[in-house]
Amino acid sequence: MTLHLIVGGMRSGKSAQAQRLAAASGCEVVVIATALAADDEMRARIARHRADRPAHWRSVDLPHAPLALASAVEAESRAGRCLLIDCLTLWITQVLAPPPGHAPLDAQAEVQALLAALPRCAGPVIAVGNEIGLGVVPMDAVSRRVVDVQGRLHQQLAAQADRVSLMVAGLPVAVKGPAA
């Protein structure tokens, strides 16, 4: 298993870079999409992301359920298959502050399950997340918790990762491992 973590700000080119790398992997690609289609705006974003990907790539849309991401990673991993997880930030946000009608999940259990599942992957994994800790301190407790959990998740994933890239204005900057 190789793990490539791609982080950056909103509209920095993270998803496009992840898609380029997945396409270049020579593997079958499965996208593990974490966004819940809870409103019209999010449904439009999801549709745009799907339209940007090759039609032959399969997408797995995560349900809002305990350990769904770790379970999907374990179920979908195969030799010769690249998993593209997009996006860790939406996933953690939905774990801690889900849309109406969904209960919060145990963030620590979710993160630990993901961290345990990734090293068992048989093929490459590309994970995308927003670098949200560079801005101002959020005003409310839930937002601060999301930033805290996301920051720790990125640190733990970066420690496991073979490569980490920071996207800046559409350009990858190598943080760990070879340049992307």
Tokens of 114: 């993901």
Q: Tell me whether residue 49 is one of the annotated catalytic residues.
A: yes
Answer yes or no: are the C-beta atoms of 123 and 27 closer than 8 Å.
yes
CA dist 55 to 50, 142, 179, Å?
8, 37, 28
Strands of the chain (E only): list them.
3-8, 28-33, 58-61, 81-86, 125-130, 163-168, 171-176
Tokens of 28: 């079958």
Of 49, 56, 102, 154, the catalytic one is 49
The C-alpha R_g of the chain, in whole angstroms, comes to 15
Distance CA 85, CA 160 (A): 15
Residues taking part in catalysis: 49
